Amino acid sequence: MASSQIIILAIIATSIATYISRFMGALTSEKVSVKSKIFKWFNCVAYSTLAALLGRMIIFPAGVLADSELIMRLIVFFICIAIFIISKRNLVIPTILSAIMLNFLIQI
């Protein structure tokens, strides 16, 4: 099997797995109360997974991000957290600014 066929097959398989879980979540979401302990537990797991991924990206980056220094990544991270809080939890502004700031700091 060719390399491109394997990649396409992997994309299809992961897409099916993702959308099946989302579909099942949509079907069962009416039965779960937002204030229930199980919902809070899933919320905590989701946030902790996101925090772990962000931490790994900042401390042990891969690819192009590995070319930047740790101090630059930390500066961009803390500035974007501050912008996120100031902009009333808007995700778009810090995301765009993080790419711009990191690109600017690497060029210096």
Q: What's the chain's Rg over C-alpha atoms? A: 19
Domain membership of residue 13 (yes or no) is yes
Give the tokens for residue 32: 């779960």
Domain membership of residue 23 (yes or no) is yes
Task: Give pLDDT, residue 65.
Answer: 86
**Containing domain of residue 4, as a range?**
1-31
Distances (CA, A) of 105 to 14, 52, 56: 35, 24, 20
Instruction: Identify the residue whose tokens are 């993080």.
Output: 98
Task: Give pLDDT, residue 56.
Answer: 93
What total of structural domains would you count in the chain? 1
Exposed, middle or buried: residue 76 (CB in 10 Å: 0-12, 13-18, 19+)?
buried
Domain membership of residue 3 (yes or no) is yes
Cβ count near 73 (within 10 Å): 19
Domain membership of residue 58 (yes or no) is no
Q: What is the pLDDT along the chain (108 residues), one digit of tens a residue?
A: 677 788 889 899 999 988 998 888 888 777 778 888 888 898 899 999 999 998 999 999 988 888 889 999 999 999 999 999 999 988 899 999 999 999 898 887
Task: Give pLDDT, residue 33.
Answer: 81
